[in-house]
Amino acid sequence: MDIGRTERIRRAVAAGDWPAVLRLWELYAAGILDEIRHGTCTRARMAEAGELLDWAKRFALCAQAHAQNRLNSIHAARQYGPEPIPPHASLRKSL
């Protein structure tokens, strides 16, 4: 398994650079498709692609869970935060 082929994709996923991930994945997948067309794609190459996809999926799910946890923390903090201060009566204008 040639980890170098997947390393740039992994770094882009880890950085959250989704446009780069898509571009790199398309290049990677095109290489696999070319190997399949020429009958040179090996089981190891397919296993490499499968492992990359499994890893990326786990990474994305973890990132999603962390983001959701942060959102939940913000929501909880708002529940216990100070009440908004109403404008002072002398600042109100009547028409």
> Comparing 20-34, 46-60, 61-75, 79-93, which segment has the lowest mean pLDDT?
79-93
Closest to 23 in 3D by CA, of 34, 37, 12, 35: 12
Query: What is the structure's pLDDT at 5?
Result: 84
Query: What is the structure's pLDDT at 9?
Result: 96
Task: Identify the residue whose tokens are 């090996």.
Answer: 42
pLDDT band at 87 (very low <50, low <70, confident <90, very high): low
For 91, list phi and psi in degrees, rounded to 5.
-90, -15
Residue pLDDT, tens place only, 37-72:
999 999 999 999 999 999 999 999 998 999 888 888
More confident residue, 82 or 39: 39
* DSSP 8-state class, residue 90: G
The residue extents of the domains of the chain are 1-65
Query: What is the structure's pLDDT at 32?
Result: 97
pTM attached to this predicted model? 0.69
Helix 43-80 to helix 4-15 angle (10° resolution) is: 10
- DSSP labels for 47-64? HHHHHHHHHHHHHHHHHH
